[in-house]
Amino acid sequence: MAAAERDWPDGIKKTKQRQAVLTALEGSGNPISAAAICAQTEKAGAAVWLSTVYRVLEFFVRKGVVTKVAVLNSDMALYEINRFQHKHYAVCVRCRKIIPMDNCPMEKFVPKLADDGFQVTGHNLELYGYCGDCGAKG
Amino acid sequence: MAAAERDWPDGIKKTKQRQAVLTALEGSGNPISAAAICAQTEKAGAAVWLSTVYRVLEFFVRKGVVTKVAVLNSDMALYEINRFQHKHYAVCVRCRKIIPMDNCPMEKFVPKLADDGFQVTGHNLELYGYCGDCGAKG
DNA sequence: ATTACTGCAAAGCATTTGCAGACTG
DNA sequence: CAGTCTGCAAATGCTTTGCAGTAAT
């Protein structure tokens, strides 16, 4: 069955709810909120309770399967599947659209920080502005 | 008196509370939370109610006097005075120390985004890792 | 069978909002 | 004096936690 075929991370007990959360995350190209994941599981016919979604997400984040994304001026935390490729986002200040970028301006910057005795383990980058649909006029 | 000498932003009504909030922000080199600002005003003898701090901060942010900083894995928003010089922060994942950086890796990156029709109005950058005091071993 | 996970409800906490009185210009 | 701002209290909304039943290995 499909569940058996899914590439499942090592050392993680497979449950209906965790699969549903992972499927919801995979179905969204962009980071989504816990509430959105919950709604998605309902729509898919495998409803997962919101608090369970939070617990599953926290678990996945600790396991390195999922990344928590901080978005300024959004009071909700967003989550995305860790696709093991660097991603950062541009956020439209008008329509809140989230646009992924495939370049990472950090690459040349990180070594510099190491000189100050700071060992970088990760980073978070967001840009704010107007997307093509919204233009610079509000 | 000191209040008269303070360089006060244009078009902003000067009140005791707004001055107290601004003083608290000036007194901290690093971004601080609304609660911390509130506590600071108390200590300074000009206590400002927490909800007022939030309202004042939101007002200052809209006026461009203050910047809201999103710190991942911190459920509180942090605020800092806009000193009109680019600042980003490295956050130690162990002791949560916040270390300012004076380089901005965005400078060469932003024009690239403009090609995609996205007009950048601001950005947010944080690095996570271990500061010199904590080392890479947890 | 044992241990971990989930549904559910209720608490927790940062932030927001409503309103009447106080203050600024 | 008119309009705005503030103290205070209560509400809001995301997230966390406790507990008993359920499911996974």
Segments in chain B below pLDDT 70:
1-6, 72-73, 108, 136-138
CATH code: domain A1-83 is 1.10.10.10
* Angle, helix A34-43 to helix A16-27, in steps of 10 degrees: 110
CATH domain B86-138 topology: Dna Ligase; domain 1 (3.30.1490)
Non-local CB neighbours of A43 within 8 Å, separated by 6+ positions? none
The nucleotide minimizing the C1' distance to residue A54's CA is: D15
- pLDDT 10s digits, B37-75: 999 999 999 999 999 999 999 999 989 899 988 776 677
Question: Taking residues A39-68, what's their average pLDDT?
Answer: 95
Contact A50, A35 (CB under 8 A): yes
Residues of chain A with CATH 1.10.10.10: 1-83
Q: How many CA atoms lie within 13 A of B101 on its CB side?
A: 24
Which of B99, B110, B122 lies closest to A118 in CB terms?
A: B99
B29: CB partners within 8 A, 6+ apart: B100
Residue A103 and residue B109 in contact, taking contact as beta carbons nearer than 8 Å: yes
- For the cut 90, the answer to whether the pLDDT of residue A4 exceeds it is no
**In chain A, ranges of CATH 3.30.1490.190 domains:** 86-138
pLDDT value at residue B125: 82
What's the CA–C1' distance between B79 and D2, in Å? 33
Average pLDDT over residues A37-49: 96
Rounded to an integer, what distance in angstroms lies between the CA atom of residue B77 and that of residue A73? 9
State the nearest residue by CA to the C1' of C4.
Answer: A13
Given this model, what pLDDT does residue A43 score? 95
Give the C-alpha separation, B99 to B88, whole Å.
8
Residues having Cβ less than 7 A from any atom in strand C: A 13, 15-18, 47-49, 51-52, 55-56, 59, 75; B 13-16, 33-35, 50-51, 54-55, 58, 75-77
| pLDDT tens per residue across span A66-108 | 998 877 667 789 999 988 777 788 888 777 788 888 777 777 7
Contact residues on chain B for A71, CB-CB shorter than 8 A = 70
b (16+ CB within 10 A) / e for B8-28: eeeeeeeeebbbbbbbbbeee
